[in-house]
C-alpha cells in the first residue's frame, strides 16, 4: 500500500486500487500530477488492502472523495470492492476502471453500487480522457451535502396505524431513526419525560419532542424543504412521482424556473417498488427508492425546487398566471402547470379490512414491514406488476406468500418475467378466481378469509398487502379541468373527440396533446386519462409535457 508522505491528514483522499502494479502506479502518478496539492493519493494493490486503508481513514476521521477500482482483480473484483466501500464512505464518488471487454460488467455495476462513472483503459492522454472525468466527480463530491442526518427516536404502539405512517414517511425519505415501542424501558422513559403525550412521539437529536406530528412537522424535523423560495415560477409540477420528476429534470435543465410540490415522498407509487426490472437502461433492475433518489439528485442538480410534504388543494387561472393554492393557505403562481399527482391504491371492500389498516393491512408495498414478516404467512391481493414485485420481495422473508387474484390467471395483467419469477419461488402460492371477503383479529390482523364460487377458506395471516388497482384522487380539480367518469384528467385529442370543443376553451387552436381543458395546464403520467400506467411512459409524459409547455409559452 502506498500513502503519499508529507500530506496533511486533513486532505480528502483519492484512492486507487489495481492488482497490476504498473497500472496502479500509472493511475497514482496521473492523480498526483494534477491533484496532489489539494488531495492525498492512496494506492492499493488489492481490494482487501484498499478496504483496510479505508477503515483506517475512517478511524482517523479523514474523508474520501473518489474511489477508482480496477474491475478484474482476483479474490475481490472492482464491483465487489466498491459495494463494500460504500458502507465506509457512502458519499465517495465511485469510478470503475475497465477494459473494452468489461463494459457489460460496468453497466451492471451502475445498478449494484450506484456507479458514478466507468473509465476505459488506456486513458491516454489523461488531459482528454482522465482528468475531465475526475474533475467532474470531484465537483459533484464537493457539492454533495455529506453531513450525516441526526437520528430521530420514534416511540409508539406496535399496531398503531399512525405510528406505521410515521415510520414509513421517515423510511421513504431515508431519514435514520430508532423505533421504540411504548413498552420498552427507554420508550416508557421518553413518554414520561414528555408528559405522557399522544403517540407517536418523535424525539429529535436535539431533544425536542413532537407529539403525534403531522407530515409537515416531520418534514421540518428532518430538514426537508416545504416552503417555496418565491411566489412565481415558470412551471409548477404537482406531484413527485416518475412523471413529475421527469418533468422537473427536463424543465429545469431547459431553463425553466421549476418547482415540484409532493404531498408524501418523491417517487410516488413507483418509489415503493422493491424491484423494477423492465425499466430501460437497468438490465439488473433497480429499486423504486434508488430510481427516485437518482431522479431527485438529477432534478436538484439542474436547479429544480423540490417541496415535500406540501399539498396542492386548488388551482385557479388568473389572467395568464396559473395559481396553486396549498393546504397551509399559501399560494404559488406560474406561467404553466403540469398535473403529475399520480394515483392511490383502491381500497379493498371486505368485512373488517378497514379496521386493520396500518395494523396488518397495508396499501402498497410497505417495505418497512417486510423484515417483520419473517417466518409468517403473508397475503398479497392483486394481479398486476406491483403485486408481483411485492410478492417476490416478501417471499425473501415470509414463510409463505399467498397471492389472491380475482381473475383466472396472471397473464392478462402481469409481465411475463414476473410470472416466471413467481413460478420459480417455492414459497409463493397463487390463488386464482378468489377474493378476500373478511379480516379478523384483536389488536392486529390475525386471520383472513378468501372466497370463490362455492367455497371459502380461512388462513392465519398477520399481513395483507393490497394492490387492486388505482384511483386518481382528483376531487380537488372538480370544476377546473375536465375529467372522465373515473376521475382521470382528460387531455389533448380526447378533449375534441367527435368535433367538440372543451367547455370554456378560449383559444382558436386545439389543445396540445397533453394539455387539459385549461390552456397552460398539462397532465402527465398515471393521473392522465388513458395513460399507459408504466414508469417509462410516465417519465416520457413528463418530458413531453415540458416540450409542450415551451410551445405554449412561445405562443402565449
Reported as a single tens digit per residue, the pLDDT across 524-537 is 999 999 998 889 99
- What residues in the chain have per-residue pLDDT under 70? 1-9, 100-113, 147-150, 284
For the domain made up of 2-143, the CATH class stated in words is alpha beta
Q: Are 93 and 64 in contact (CB under 8 A)?
A: no
Q: Give CA–CA dist 480/518, Å, rounded.
A: 8
> Are 2-143 and 353-470 in the same CATH fold?
no
Task: Pick one of 1.10.3720.10, 3.50.50.60, 3.40.50.12780, 3.40.640.10 as the CATH number of 232-343+472-555.
Answer: 3.50.50.60
Q: Which residues pair with 385 in a beta bridge?
A: none
Using the Cα atoms of residue 436, residue 440, residue 445 and residue 449 in order, give the sign of their dihedral: negative
Secondary structure (H, E, C), 281-338: CCCCCECHHHHHHHHHHHHHHCCCEEEECCCEEEEEEECCEEEEEECCCCEEEEEEEE
pLDDT at 118: 82
Residue 120 vs residues 21, 68, 96, 133: alpha-carbon distances, Å: 18, 12, 8, 11
For 396-458, give the DSSP string: TT-SEEEEEESSS-STTTS-HHHHHHHHT-TTEEEEET-EEEEEEESSSEEEEEEEETTEEEE
Q: Write out the three cell numbers for 353.
A: 379490512
For the chain, the structural domain boundaries read: 2-143, 152-221, 232-343+472-555, 353-470
3-state secondary structure of 55: helix
Distance CA 151, CA 402 (A): 36
Q: Which helix (H) or strand (E) holds 275?
A: none
Q: Does domain 152-221 have CATH number 1.20.1060.10?
A: no
- pTM for this predicted structure: 0.74
Task: Look up cell 416520457; give the residue.
Answer: 540
In CATH, what class is 353-470?
A: alpha beta
Tell me the per-residue pLDDT of 261-303, one tens digit each, with 9 for 90 and over: 999 889 888 887 877 888 887 776 777 888 888 899 899 989 9
User: What gap in Å lies between CA 149 and CA 408, rounded to an integer?
Assistant: 48
Contacts of 410 (CB under 8 A, 6+ apart): 383, 388, 403, 418, 419, 422, 430, 432
User: Which pLDDT value is given to residue 109?
Assistant: 60
pLDDT at 104: 65
Q: What is the pLDDT of residue 78?
A: 85
Kindly calculate the radius of gyration of the chain based on its CA atoms and give it in whole angstroms. 26
Rounded Cα gap, residues 516 and 535, in angstroms: 21
Distance CA 154, CA 168 (A): 12
pLDDT for the residue numbered 333: 98
Residue 317's pLDDT is: 96
Alpha carbon distance 71, 32 (integer Å): 22
Amino acid at each position: 500500500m502506498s500513502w503519499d508522505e508529507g500530506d496533511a491528514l486533513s486532505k480528502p483522499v483519492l484512492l486507487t486500487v489495481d492488482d497490476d502494479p504498473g497500472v496502479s502506479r500509472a493511475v497514482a502518478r496521473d492523480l498526483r500530477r494534477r491533484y496532489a496539492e489539494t488531495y492525498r493519493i492512496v494506492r492499493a494493490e488489492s481490494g482487501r488492502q484498499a478496504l483496510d486503508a479505508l477503515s483506517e481513514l475512517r478511524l482517523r476521521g479523514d474523508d474520501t472523495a473518489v474511489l477508482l477500482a480496477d474491475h478484474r482483480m482476483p479474490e475481490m473484483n472492482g464491483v465487489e470492492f466498491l459495494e463494500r466501500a460504500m458502507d465506509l464512505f457512502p458519499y465517495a464518488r465511485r469510478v470503475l476502471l475497465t477494459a473494452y471487454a468489461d463494459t457489460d460488467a460496468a453497466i451492471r455495476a451502475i445498478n449494484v453500487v450506484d456507479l458514478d462513472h466507468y473509465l476505459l483503459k488506456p486513458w491516454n492522454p489523461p488531459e482528454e480522457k482522465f482528468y475531465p472525468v475526475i474533475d467532474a466527480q470531484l465537483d459533484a463530491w464537493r457539492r454533495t451535502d455529506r453531513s450525516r442526518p441526526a437520528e430521530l427516536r420514534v416511540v409508539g404502539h406496535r399496531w398503531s396505524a399512525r405510528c406505521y405512517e410515521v415510520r414509513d414517511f421517515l423510511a421513504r425519505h431515508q431519514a435514520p431513526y430508532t423505533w421504540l415501542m411504548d413498552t420498552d424501558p427507554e420508550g416508557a422513559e421518553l413518554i414520561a419525560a414528555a408528559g405522557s403525550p399522544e403517540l407517536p412521539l418523535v424525539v429529535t437529536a436535539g431533544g425536542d419532542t413532537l407529539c403525534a406530528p403531522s407530515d409537515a412537522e416531520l418534514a421540518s424535523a428532518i430538514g426537508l424543504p416545504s416552503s417555496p423560495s418565491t411566489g412565481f415560477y415558470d412551471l409548477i409540477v404537482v406531484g413527485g412521482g416518475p412523471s413529475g420528476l421527469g418533468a422537473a429534470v427536463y424543465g429545469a435543465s431547459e431553463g425553466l424556473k421549476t418547482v415540484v410540490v409532493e404531498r408524501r415522498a418523491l417517487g410516488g407509487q413507483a418509489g415503493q417498488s422493491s424491484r423494477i426490472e423492465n425499466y430501460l437502461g437497468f438490465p439488473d433492475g433497480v429499486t423504486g427508492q434508488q430510481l427516485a433518489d437518482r431522479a431527485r439528485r438529477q432534478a436538484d442538480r439542474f436547479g429544480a425546487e423540490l417541496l415535500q410534504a406540501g399539498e396542492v388543494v386548488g388551482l385557479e387561472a388568473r389572467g395568464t398566471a396559473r395559481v396553486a393554492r396549498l393546504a397551509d393557505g399559501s399560494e404559488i403562481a406560474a406561467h404553466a402547470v403540469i398535473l403529475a399527482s399520480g394515483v392511490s391504491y383502491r381500497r379493498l371492500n371486505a368485512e373488517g379490512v378497514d379496521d386493520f389498516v396500518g395494523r396488518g393491512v397495508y396499501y402498497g408495498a410497505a417495505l418497512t414491514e417486510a423484515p417483520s414478516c419473517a417466518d409468517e404467512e403473508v397475503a398479497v391481493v392483486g394481479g398486476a406488476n406491483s403485486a408481483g414485485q411485492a410478492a417476490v420481495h416478501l417471499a425473501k422473508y415470509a414463510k409463505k406468500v399467498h397471492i389472491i387474484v380475482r381473475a383466472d390467471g396472471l397473464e392478462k395483467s402481469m409481465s411475463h418475467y414476473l410470472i416466471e419469477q413467481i413460478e420459480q419461488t417455492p414459497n409463493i402460492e397463487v390463488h386464482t378466481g378468489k377474493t378476500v371477503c373478511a379480516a379478523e383479529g384483536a389488536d392486529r390482523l390475525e386471520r383472513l378469509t378468501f372466497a370463490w364460487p362455492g367455497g371459502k377458506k380461512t388462513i392465519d395471516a398477520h399481513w395483507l398487502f393490497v394492490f387492486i388497482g388505482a384511483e386518481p384522487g382528483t376531487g380537488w380539480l372538480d370544476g377546473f379541468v375536465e375529467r372522465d367518469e373515473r376521475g382521470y384528467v382528460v387531455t389533448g385529442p380526447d378533449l375534441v373527440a367527435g368535433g367538440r370543443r372543451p367547455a370554456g376553451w378560449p383559444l382558436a387552436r386545439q389543445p396540445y396533446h397533453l394539455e387539459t381543458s385549461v390552456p397552460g395546464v398539462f397532465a402527465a403520467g398515471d393521473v392522465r386519462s388513458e395513460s399507459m400506467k408504466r414508469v417509462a411512459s410516465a417519465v416520457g409524459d413528463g418530458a413531453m409535457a415540458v416540450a409542450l409547455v415551451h410551445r405554449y409559452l412561445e405562443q402565449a
